[in-house]
Structure 1
């Protein structure tokens, strides 16, 4: 749908099932328990198999705005980065900073584990009710900023669940970098 070159990294927006992507890591929009849930979280846990839940139990949860990494098990992705996004409470309780932290921490984990490709869902825009347009802007701008310190990361996919979400991400991404020739 859209692609931009930012330094050495290619950023793409697609509409797809994140559990089918063959990348080094998929990001899971997790809850603080890391033990599965609905939406993307449930889909990733179902596709990865029971081994993912077993490894997540050893992590003892995760704070909002932070992220932890596991193996991908039965997913085509080699790893899962579990990022805990904020629940939307009107924007006055640090939601923007917590969401930005999810994206930054995921890119940091990719760099520290030498992962070149990562796919993000639209974190917190489902049952956590974060406004989709605001979330898309935070996702793109934070990722672009974080890539400056993550030369190992050469491909970032914003894997959206709907055409509307993809359009919002593509519009924001158009403000960054150079269009990629496809």
Structure 2
């Protein structure tokens, strides 16, 4: 799935983000920029611990903020670490309920990410290509549906 917004092509693929030969990949990070599991862990395993070391040296950062590091052994040039979750290492029943509800709404998360991207592209942009990579068919399909509706 691919669409054009101004000068920028936005596409969706299924695959491994750590294999993309692009300028930068984006990692949904915690505010301390620790790279333990999930996509962050995959980035660290493929690119090397130096990515996490560089990120942690730039943190902690606030929720919604981002920092840029080198890419270690990855084929991309940079990793953008965007803080989408806190890292206070505590939990509660409300947090567990919220996380469960959120995990069931992959379509909604994909829609929000695509909508925000398209909104940014309505202004001036020097970006040529943006690729949303779903690690499995379900995630890629959610991004594809959101892109079709954008």
Unaligned runs of 5+ in 2: 87-93
Answer yes or no: is 1:131 the counterpart of 2:105: yes
Return the offset for 1:54. 2.1
Unpaired stretches in structure 1, ≥5 consecutive residues? 92-124, 177-182
TM-score in terms of structure 1 length:
0.70
Which structure exhibits the higher relative contact order, with contacts defined as CA atoms closer than 8 Å and separated by 6 or more residues? 2
In structure 2, distance between residues paired with 1:19 and 1:130: 25
C-alpha deviation, 1:64, in angstroms: 1.8
Matches within 5 A, 1:29-108: 29-86=28-85
How many residues end up aligned between the 2 structures?
141
What TM-score, normalized by structure 2, do the two folds share?
0.84
Q: Distance in 1 between matches of 2:68 and 2:124?
A: 16
Q: 2: distance between equivalents of 1:151 and 1:130?
A: 33
Which secondary structure state, in structure 1, belongs to the residue aligned with residue 58 of structure 2?
coil
> d(CA) in 1 for partners of 2:124 and 2:49?
31
Runs of 4+ in 1 over 2 A off after TM superposition: 86-91
Structure number with greater Rg is: 2
More helix by share: 2
Is 2:148 the counterpart of 1:171? Answer: no
User: How large is the RMSD of aligned CA atoms in angstroms?
Assistant: 2.3
Inter-CA distance 64–159: structure 2 relative to 1 (3 Å threshold):
same
